[in-house]
Structure 1
Amino acid sequence: ANSVSDAPSVDAVSDRLINHETIQLANQLRPILTALRNHVLAAPFQRPVTAAEAPGYHDIVSLPIDLGTMWDRLKSRYYTSKSLFIADAMRMFHNCRTYNQPDSYLVRTANTLERFFIARMKQANLWP
């Protein structure tokens, strides 16, 4: 019963380690994403932008992302590294600045949320 073939494969062990690390990372990222979603200014970023509310958005923004999508990705263990999570958040702010006028309410809101996000990531020792 204790033959070599009974030992877990290297792949199975490495999948378990990755899974454990991914779950640990998700547990660190969840409160940060929750705080961002609950921020008083976060409403415009909660769900995907529609063509109806932002004409031409999808012509200008090729990789849309929003807090709801990030939440789904967090739950599905998509974020296997903090850099994937940071990239999505920073892309959300960048997309807002790309589509909207620099002095618009939405860009000012994105800038405020970005500062909040970076501060929370630094507090958690997750900022590069």
Structure 2
Amino acid sequence: MTSDQTRIQGTCLCAAVSISIAQPSPTISACHCSICRNWTGGPFFSLETHESPVIEGKEHVRSYASSEWARRSFCAVCGTHLFYELKAGGFHAISAGLFKESGQWPFELQVFIDEKPDNYQFANSTRQMTGEEVVKLFS
């Protein structure tokens, strides 16, 4: 069991959905895949975890099966992007924007870097993975 001190909590824009997760040292990742960019209007910044988040306001969560292996969830009240999850379970990429503290967390990983468009570039030095590397990791 994790102590309350290692749990972080965030909410959607309207606070109808609250998500908490045990994460003693949170970091930020960015996904550049075409589906994430279509979903969010840019790269999807997230907190990655293999723990299922505790969700309050589940009745307001709607999910869309964006592929054979994953779904994306959002708040049905305000439309906030909540998380990406593998259907097989065990992996969630929770929107970093839900957490007020996320601007203080280190930006450490970029995935699907081979799909990143040329019109933006981050100054941060991060670990980078191609789509093929990511698929291989989760296969």
Scaled to the shorter chain, the TM-score interval is under 0.3
In proportion to residue count, which structure has more strand? 2
Larger CA Rg, structure 1 vs 2: 1
Q: TM-score, normalised by structure 1?
A: 0.26
Q: TM-score, normalised by structure 2?
A: 0.25
